[in-house]
Structure 1
């Protein structure tokens, strides 16, 4: 038996459709429509504003599905002197265009609401605003999840097999794995793992971050814009050691709770963000990470589906991920991290020792 929207819920849902149509300058949202490039940029700006991390990186509209990178960084010095009595001045080409370019993929963000949910929400006058804000925020979070966990762009994705959206697109980590594998630390010297602890490769997180920062190409190391992105499990492990060492002192415990004990790791400002690998470390600059979307590709369509007792909101666009300068990105393989003890366990005494 097919259920229907109640009169009040239908009125609320039609108000949502009308609001979407007005926002995008179309006569109706009840059939698929293309979002104009200027409005697509506005839409992406709203998605970006839903996340503090997205506001720090580049979210850029482009016209082509494939092409050269848009952001141009300088990868060398430009200042010097030429004796023009002996030879011509020779300008240097230092723009960081590596020729690897970008590729965008058709990406769907489709959302459904049960009729019963709309019935429950119909009492809120700002239903359309609440709904739009929730959807845009989730698209923003999904973009970050793909950016850190995406490894391929399958034609037919499987959310059950890939709960971190690993098959939606190639994210920043995967791009560096493929295009500059030397920028990813895979294993330490002690074992085939990256061991953290006094008996491992790195005595502490600070030492690990410092070592990763040395993997950045030398021309980028002293630019003043590098940051360390650190996973929550690594931060928790490091904070746990601080608790063990100083947590018995009330004033020190309070400072740890306020995250004021360590503001930097490896000499770099440290951050984390939603969906960053929990045992990951990446050293880069915020403006070295980009998400490109094709500004003419965004399409949307809202409809009622009484056969499933729900409404459906279809969003699609072409988008992809870019590391602007590969030499300005260094990280570790998060699945290879292993915590080890700071000291060897004390062997139990032999009960027979000292006996005749």
Structure 2
């Protein structure tokens, strides 16, 4: 690290210590609640999908779900001349709580990289933004692909972070497999054969969720990029030679709804995901006061190291308000 860069890095550490209210960021410390919330807010702001779902601060490592669902109607009338009004206990019976796990986000920059970044006057802001963005990307990735909580994760064997935590799909596999659409012979579901189009598939997924939720106005269809790409291709084949229709396709005006539901795609989703739920039904819980941080200069490895850890976990608030097709089991007609 050049001398001018080292001076910049020293200033960076001093400023970080002032921000976090500690004497030295080289010693591990717990981030204060107010700064911790700002960190979480910045991560959420960096990712469009996290902005849609619930990112919830909780106090305990395990406990009851925050958003208590209901399992029936709450509206009616009682003839009080004959009996008392009786409140209805409609708490969702599958509210079996949440579990958080320690999650690390440790990054480093080599001295050469720090020297390169040092030319930017906003070095600190650029660095923080880059780290926050990647944590957001990783959170979404674990939410979709996470299958287990390994004692020691292996990114080489699990490049999609499958071993970091149990995500939403895995939770449904374990807690409510009946909400997963599949064929009785366990063969793949084929678009263009089993379902003539994506609209028909989404309609069927909607009917798979509990009837008390089927009319909820917040239901959406979450669709992977492969499915939307195939949908676009069929539209181009049918209407691509008509200028007015082509413009609508390219402006995505014709896929604002699929199967009668608003359709959404976000970076990080499985490419062949087809799910019906609501954004408010998918959550990431983070324990208050659990963010620990340390920034050190490691000359033995010629790099600067930034250690971050916090406790977090994924939650499906109401299992019966979710239905989906396993991405690996959805094929297009003509595929082998």
TM-score, normalization: structure 1? Answer: 0.91
- The aligned residue for residue 348 of structure 1 is none
Rounded Cα–Cα distance in structure 2 between residues aligned with 1:262 and 1:282? 16
Deviations 1:217-236 (A, max 9, x none): 11111120001100000000
Structure 1 pair 169–191 and aligned structure 2 pair: CA distance change class (3 A): closer
Moved more, 87-96 or 165-174: 87-96
- The aligned residue for residue 349 of structure 1 is none
- The aligned residue for residue 290 of structure 2 is 297
Deviations 1:168-223 (A, max 9, x none): 000011001110111111x33686111101xx210001111110011111111112
> Contact 1:72–1:97 at 8 Å: present in 2 too?
no
| Cα displacement (A) at 1:20 | 2.0
| Cα displacement (A) at 1:146 | 0.3
Task: Give me the CA root mean square deviation.
Answer: 1.5
- The aligned residue for residue 254 of structure 1 is 247
Question: Max radius of gyration: which structure?
Answer: 1
For structure 2, the 5+ residue unaligned runs are none
| Cα displacement (A) at 1:341 | 4.6
- The aligned residue for residue 49 of structure 2 is 53
Rounded Cα–Cα distance in structure 2 between residues aligned with 1:191 and 1:315? 43
TM-score, normalization: structure 2? Answer: 0.96
Rounded Cα–Cα distance in structure 1 between residues aligned with 2:28 and 2:238? 61
- The aligned residue for residue 146 of structure 2 is 150
Match of 1:218 among 211, 220, 244: 211
Length, aligned pairs only:
335
| Cα displacement (A) at 1:268 | 0.3
For structure 1, the 5+ residue unaligned runs are 343-356
Which secondary structure state, in structure 1, belongs to the residue aligned with residue 253 of structure 2? coil
Deviations 1:260-282 (A, max 9, x none): 12211110001011211101111
Match of 1:240 among 219, 233, 244: 233
| Cα displacement (A) at 1:308 | 1.1
Structure 1 pair 252–52 and aligned structure 2 pair: CA distance change class (3 A): same
| 2:166 is aligned with 1:170 | yes
Match of 1:318 among 308, 311, 314: 311
Rounded Cα–Cα distance in structure 2 between residues aligned with 1:126 and 1:209? 46
Rounded Cα–Cα distance in structure 1 between residues aligned with 2:91 and 2:45? 29
